[in-house]
Amino acid sequence: MTTRFCLIETDQIVLKKLEDIVTNLGDSITVLTGVNQAQTKIAQFRPDIIIMDIELPTVDQGLSLLSSLKNSNCTSDIVIISSILDKTVVEAAYSLGISFYIAKPVNMTEISTVLQNLTVHRQYQRILHNIASAVGSIDELAKRSASITASRDQVAMQILANLGILDEPGAKDILNIVKITSDVSTLSVNEICLHLSDYYQKETLSKISWQPKAIEQRLRRAIYTSLKHIAALGLEDYNDPRFEKFAPLFFDFNEVRYQMRAMEKGQQIKVSIHLRKFLTAFFLQLEEQSI
């Protein structure tokens, strides 16, 4: 099953690196060097994954393209690679439905890991669609899927353990998100928290604070704890397989390195927590390991 990539990048050096990564994945590519007619070509090519800079050549043009794609019900996973790290821009991009926002300079390991996992995710979705079509009945598919629920929960707990947050209050929220949805890639952080809040109220789980803001705070604390855990692994052994896999997948790699330097100096710092990126990566891992 071929995964179609669309690259939108004006920097020829970065574009060449991206082409090398995608070519190694063995999939088809279309390349655009600017925003002109991008939406039309994307509609014709129907890529599975779009990798683009937010500056095309201005941020406003990049955000405008994202908005147009969202309004046209584009189903592509969108990965932003940009030197623009302004919090307002990053949040605006995520609100317009992107899957990942990766900072320049380009980290080949991070981008390669993200694209490989997104490819697996797309293939998994195709498999589910084909199974549903073959079965011909959603009810029958649900019955068959029920047999792997326990395994899915176990995989989720194992991922949380590897991230060092299984005992965190926010980890329970993540496990409950797994219960109530099979895919977070189309949901905003606010929507995720609202859905979980509704679930807690319906289940009358009075011991759990169900306010959406409280849920978001628990999730952010858990993710920050995970960031520190992964950074500590990297400090102890840069070749630790958990560090090599999880650092670029779940976090902005620059934030991980920033945290590592601070830990070496015994400093307390503030870092950006990209909650949606973390949850999207978590579900990608969950689907990959549950197949």
Whether 236 contacts 97, CB under 8 Å: no
| 200-225 pLDDT tens trace | 888 765 456 788 899 999 999 999 99
Supply the angle between the helices 212-236 and 275-290 in degrees, to the nearest 10.
70
Model confidence over 105-119: pLDDT tens digits? 777 777 888 888 788
Residue 146 has pLDDT above 60, yes or no: no
SS3 category, 158: helix
pTM: 0.55
Rounded to an integer, the average pLDDT of 119-136 is 66
Residue with tokens 């996992």: 117
Q: How far apart are CA 131 and CA 146, in angstroms?
A: 14
Domain 5-119 sits in CATH 3.90.226.10: no
Residue that is written with structure tokens 């697996």 in the block: 120
Give me the residue spans of the domains in the chain: 5-119, 148-291
Mean of pLDDT over the chain: 82
Q: Tens of pLDDT along 8-30?
A: 888 888 888 888 888 877 667 77
Q: What percent of the chain has pLDDT over 90?
A: 18
Strands 5-8 and 49-52, bridge-based pairing:
parallel
Residue 61 DSSP SS3: helix
Query: What whole-number distance in Å separates Cα of residue 76 and Cα of residue 242?
Result: 29
Q: Is the pLDDT of residue 125 over 50?
A: yes
Write down the number of H helices and E strands in the chain. Answer: 13, 5
Residue 54 has phi, psi (to 5 degrees) of -80, -20
Helix H or strand E segment including 109:
helix 108-135
Confidence of residue 148 (pLDDT cuts 50, 70, 90): very low
Q: How far apart are CA 254 and CA 102, in angstroms?
A: 9
The type of residue at 113 is T
DSSP, res 240: -
| Structure tokens that stand for 162 in this block | 């590897």
Q: Whole-angstrom Cα distance, residue 199 to residue 218?
A: 16
**Cβ atoms within 10 A of the Cβ of 159, count?**
22
Residue 268: CB atoms within 10 A of its CB come to 6
Integer Cα distance of 68 and 77 in angstroms: 14
pLDDT at 33: 64
Instruction: Report the pLDDT averaged over residues 154-177.
Output: 89
- Decide which of 25 and 50 is more confident: 50
Residue whose structure tokens are 């995608």: 22
pLDDT score at 217: 93
How far is 166 from 170, CA to CA, in rounded Å?
9
For 29-48, what is the mean pLDDT?
Answer: 79
